[in-house]
Amino acid sequence: MSCETTPFSESQPADSHVASFSRRWYHEDEIWAALAPPYEGRWFAGEPPLKVLWYTELAGDLELAGRRLDGPGALTSDVPPGYDGVDYQPSLILFPQPGCWEVAGSVGGHTLRIVAEVFAADLHPLRRRIAGVD
Domains and CATH numbers, the chain: 16-130 (2.60.40.10)
Residues 33-52: b if buried by 16+ CB within 10 A, e if exposed: bbbeeebeebbbbbeebbbb
Per residue in 74-130, pLDDT (tens digit) is 999 999 987 877 899 999 999 999 999 999 999 989 999 999 999 999 998 887 555
Identity of the residue numbered 62: L
Would the pTM count as exceeding 0.75?
A: yes
Supply the DSSP symbol for 108: T
pLDDT attached to residue 129? 57
Mean pLDDT of 22-49: 95
